[in-house]
Amino acid sequence: MKEKLEALRQQALQELETLHTPKELEEFRIRVMGKKGPLTELLRGMGSLPAEERPQMGQLVNQLRAQLEEKLHEKEAAAQTALKEQKLKDEALDITLPGKAAKTGGLHPLNIVLEDMIDIFQSMGFDVVDGPEVETEHYCFEALNVPKDHPARDMQDTFYLGDDLLLRTQTSAAQIRVMEQRKPPIRIICPGRVFRADEVDATHSPVFHQVEGLVVDKGITMCDLKGVLEQFAHEIYGPDTKVKFRPSFFPFTEPSVEVDVSCSECGGKGCRVCKGSGWIEILGAGMVHPRVLRGCGIDPEVYSGFAFGIGLDRLTTTRYKISDIRLLFENDQRFLEQFD
Write out the residues near ligand PHE by the rule CB under 6 A.
Answer: 170, 172, 212, 250, 253, 284-286, 307-309
Decide: helix, strand or coil at residue 129.
Answer: coil
Nearer to ligand PHE, 61 or 225 (CB): 225
DSSP line for 205-267? -SEEEEEEEEEEETT--HHHHHHHHHHHHHHHH-TT--EEEEEEEETTEEEEEEEEEE-TTTT
Instruction: State the pairing for strand pair 253-262/279-288.
Output: antiparallel
Nearer to ligand PHE, 39 or 114 (CB): 114
Nearer to ligand PHE, 43 or 197 (CB): 197
DSSP line for 276-298? TSSEEEEEEEEEEPHHHHHHTT-
State the minimum distance, in angstroms, from the CB of residue 250 to ligand PHE.
4
Which residue in the shown chain puts its C-beta closest to ligand PHE?
309
Contacts of 264 (CB under 8 A, 6+ apart): 237, 238, 241, 273, 280, 318, 319
State the minimum distance, in angstroms, from the CB of residue 340 to ligand PHE.
31
Nearer to ligand PHE, 192 or 309 (CB): 309
Decide: helix, strand or coil at residue 67.
Answer: helix
Rounded distance between C-alpha atoms, residue 188 and residue 307, angstroms: 10
Nearer to ligand PHE, 28 or 126 (CB): 126
Contacts of 219 (CB under 8 A, 6+ apart): 304
Is the CB of residue 241 less than 8 Å from the CB of residue 134?
Answer: no
State the minimum distance, in angstroms, from the CB of residue 164 to ligand PHE.
20
State the minimum distance, in angstroms, from the CB of residue 252 to ligand PHE.
6
Nearer to ligand PHE, 195 or 308 (CB): 308
State the minimum distance, in angstroms, from the CB of residue 99 to ligand PHE.
49
Nearer to ligand PHE, 254 or 265 (CB): 254
Containing H/E element for 135?
A: strand 134-136
Q: How far apart are the first and last CA of the chain?
A: 88
Nearer to ligand PHE, 39 or 229 (CB): 229
State the minimum distance, in angstroms, from the CB of residue 174 to ligand PHE.
10
Helices 38-45, 2-18: axis angle to 10 degrees equals 170
311 phi, psi to nearest 5 deg: -85, 105
Containing H/E element for 79?
A: helix 54-90
State the minimum distance, in angstroms, from the CB of residue 151 to ligand PHE.
13
State the minimum distance, in angstroms, from the CB of residue 192 to ligand PHE.
12
Nearer to ligand PHE, 253 or 264 (CB): 253
State the minimum distance, in angstroms, from the CB of residue 283 to ligand PHE.
7
Is the CB of residue 29 less than 8 Å from the CB of residue 71?
Answer: no
Q: What letter would DSSP give residue 91? A: T
